[in-house]
Amino acid sequence: MDNLSYLAQSAFPLVWILVPAIGAYLRARRARSPQESLEIWQRWWAIGAMGFGSLWMTVAFLAFPDVMATAIGFDRTPFMFEIAFANLGLAVMGFRAASASARERITIGLGAGMFLWGALAGHLYQWFANGDHAPGNTGGVLVTDLLIPAVMIILAMRSRRLAAAPRPVAHAA
């Protein structure tokens, strides 16, 4: 595999964090309050990063299992079918998080983290223990597996704190 192709395949998962981040940034610039801005960020992240990112992985593992097996550096196995449906579960949770409360978003982020952080540990193990440098095992997937649930949790925790903070009251003169 040439270097440009490897780089493109390795970096592709970053689309699922860059597009929501850019979209949220552009949209939140017009927000009227910190709460509105934070809500915009949470919705973009839930739908774009977790929802569509996980839905893409579902489709990729179901429709192109041989391509995905090569991308992650493994032989095709029935386990890939299970990975597809685990990602479908994450997609459903991501889409649900778009209209969820902060507490629900924290829970959704933690649930996603259990799967994605476990996958991250598996990728790192395969990289260092077995020398698996396949583009679907290293690079962008490491970043997305770490950040998608972490950012969701952080944004939701910030939202809870912001909602609990006392708001200044305007006094009539």
What does the pLDDT look like over 101-132, one tens digit per residue? 999 999 999 999 999 999 999 999 999 999 99
> How confident is the model at residue 170, as a pLDDT?
62
pTM reported for the whole predicted model: 0.89
Handedness of CA 131, 134, 135, 141 (dihedral sign): negative
Burial degree of 18 (CB within 10 A; 0-12, 13-18, 19+): middle
Minimal CA–CA distance to 62: which of 51, 46, 78? 78
- Angle, alpha carbons 112-63-59 (nearest 5°): 30
Minimal CA–CA distance to 106: which of 57, 54, 163? 163
Alpha helices in 45-101 (DSSP H): 53-63, 65-72, 79-97
